[in-house]
Amino acid sequence: MMKIVDISQYPELRNLFPELTPVEFETSLLFAFGIPQKQISVLRSVNYRLVQRDIAAAKSKFETNSLNQLLTVFHIRLVLFALYGGKRK
């Protein structure tokens, strides 16, 4: 599998989402950046169903009911991270 986001270069960002596995984090982050799931599967060189599974796992871990709610979780944490100068609160 090709790595699109090298999360080892961004440990502070990765630490914002300790609930997720590295693959779930990468997939969900790409989705939060607005990349469609089918495109994520192409970028990651994986089956579309694997992308769906990773996003469904993230939704479950955050106890969200929709993709919009999952996006909201990501956006809020990323904005707060930026507002606090890269420090997790």
64 found inside a domain = yes
- Reading the block at residue 69, the tokens are 């709610």
Q: End-to-end CA distance of the chain: give it in Å, rounded.
A: 33
34 found inside a domain = yes
pLDDT at 75: 92
89 found inside a domain = no
| Structural domain count of the chain | 1
Residues 40, 27: contact at Cβ < 8 Å? yes
Cα 65 from Cα 59, distance rounded (Å): 7
1 found inside a domain = no
pLDDT at 61: 97
Structure-token match 């080892």, residue found: 8
pLDDT at 50: 97
CATH number at residue 20: 3.40.50.2300
- Reading the block at residue 36, the tokens are 């469609």
What's the domain range around 53? 7-83
Q: Which residues in the chain land under pLDDT 50?
A: 1-2
Number of H helices, E strands in the chain: 5, 0
